[in-house]
């Protein structure tokens, strides 16, 4: 069986929702792979807002975008995703088609800088408000590292507490599931929270 990573599963799920001209958010830029994917998917008429707390992540994302001439479609913010609602233009409230989170630490970067459960949950609540009807949120969580286990546990509780009339949640486990393997939460919005 070919190995499909959860990164690919998340992108496939988002791709099935995104249309040209859409607005999307990369809540954890990291090295910019999802930002490039989102910028390609929304096309020249769309826009992507990217967030990270490390300058290195913004630089590396910008370089990747530049290499594909996608930089004009993306606004990069050196700001915590917990500030999503404060930073995003008010005009996009309820109009964002997709928000992607890839938690944990920056590959190749400082492993001490990891996403924190309180800001992650605040960002998720904000993402739910930004999301358009039929919009999608993907959260790739890594319970295998210190802090990631508690974060994943709290995330699971939070996902289960969502109103099922407003959100449908799917949990995708790694193909080689073992304790500590990454897991992907996919949230789809049915109703309208606004």
Which residues contribute to the site for ligand SAH (CB under 6 A)? Answer: 28, 30, 51-54, 57, 80-82, 102, 104-107, 113, 115, 119, 142
Of 11 and 102, the one with the shorter C-beta distance to ligand SAH is: 102
Of 119 and 166, the one with the shorter C-beta distance to ligand SAH is: 119
Q: Please report how close the Cβ of residue 25 comes to ligand SAH at its closest, in angstroms.
A: 11
Integer angstrom CA distances of residue 97 from 56, 77, 128, 143:
27, 19, 11, 27
Beta-strand runs (E) in the chain: 23-26, 47-51, 74-77, 96-102, 131-141, 167-173, 183-189
Of 1 and 112, the one with the shorter C-beta distance to ligand SAH is: 112
The Cα 135–Cα 25 span in angstroms is: 11
Return the percent helix, strand and coil in the chain, to nearest 5: 40, 25, 40
Q: Please report how close the Cβ of residue 97 comes to ligand SAH at its closest, in angstroms.
A: 20
Of 143 and 190, the one with the shorter C-beta distance to ligand SAH is: 143
Tell me if residue 41 falls in helix, strand or coil: helix
Q: Are strands 23-26 and 96-102 parallel, antiparallel or unpaired?
A: parallel
Instruction: Identify the DSSP state of 102.
Output: E
Of 92 and 113, the one with the shorter C-beta distance to ligand SAH is: 113
Q: Please report how close the Cβ of residue 62 comes to ligand SAH at its closest, in angstroms.
A: 13
Question: Nearest Cα to 51, choosing from 110, 128, 103?
Answer: 103
Of 45 and 108, the one with the shorter C-beta distance to ligand SAH is: 108
The Cα 72–Cα 70 span in angstroms is: 6
Q: Please report how close the Cβ of residue 148 comes to ligand SAH at its closest, in angstroms.
A: 9
Q: Please report how close the Cβ of residue 101 comes to ligand SAH at its closest, in angstroms.
A: 8
Q: Please report how close the Cβ of residue 185 comes to ligand SAH at its closest, in angstroms.
A: 15
């Amino acid at each position: 069986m070919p190995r499909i990573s959860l990164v690919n599963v998340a992108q496939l799920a988002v791709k099935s929702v995104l249309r040209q001209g859409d607005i999307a958010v990369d809540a954890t830029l990291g090295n910019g792979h999802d930002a490039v994917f989102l910028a390609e998917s929304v096309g020249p008429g769309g826009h992507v807002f990217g967030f990270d707390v490390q300058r290195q992540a913004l630089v590396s994302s910008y370089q990747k975008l530049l290499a594909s001439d996608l930089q004009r479609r993306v606004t990069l913010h050196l700001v915590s995703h917990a500030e999503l609602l404060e930073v995003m233009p008010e005009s996009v409230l309820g109009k964002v088609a997709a928000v992607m989170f890839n938690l944990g630490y920056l590959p190749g970067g400082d492993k001490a800088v990891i996403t924190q459960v309180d800001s992650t949950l605040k960002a998720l609540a904000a993402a739910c408000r930004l999301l358009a009807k039929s919009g999608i949120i993907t959260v790739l969580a890594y319970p295998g590292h210190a802090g990631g286990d508690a974060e994943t546990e709290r995330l699971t509780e939070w996902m289960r507490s969502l109103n099922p009339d407003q959100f449908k949640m799917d949990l995708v486990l790694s193909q080689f599931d073992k304790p500590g393997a990454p897991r992907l939460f996919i949230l789809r919005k049915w109703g309208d929270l606004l």
